Amino acid sequence: MGMLVGGKRGIVSEMNVVPLIDILLVLLVIFMVIPHHQKGLQAALPQQSAPGPDVPPETVIVHIDADGSLRINQLAVEPDQLGARLQELFASRSDRVVFLQADRALEFQAVAQVLDLMQTAGATPIGLLSSELEKNR
From first to last of its 137 residues, the chain has per-residue pLDDT tens of 555 666 666 776 787 888 889 999 999 998 888 776 667 778 777 777 665 555 445 788 999 998 989 999 889 999 899 999 999 888 888 888 899 999 888 898 989 999 999 999 888 889 888 766 555 55
DSSP state of 93: -
CATH topology (fold) of 60-136: Nucleotidyltransferase; domain 5 (3.30.420)
Whether 62 and 114 have beta carbons less than 8 Å apart is answered as: yes
Domain segments of the chain: what residues? 2-32, 60-136
| Strand runs labelled E in the chain | 2-4, 12-14, 60-64, 70-72, 75-77, 98-102, 126-129
Q: In whole angstroms, how large is the CA radius of gyration of the chain?
A: 37
pLDDT for 55 equals: 45
Look up the pTM and report it. Answer: 0.54
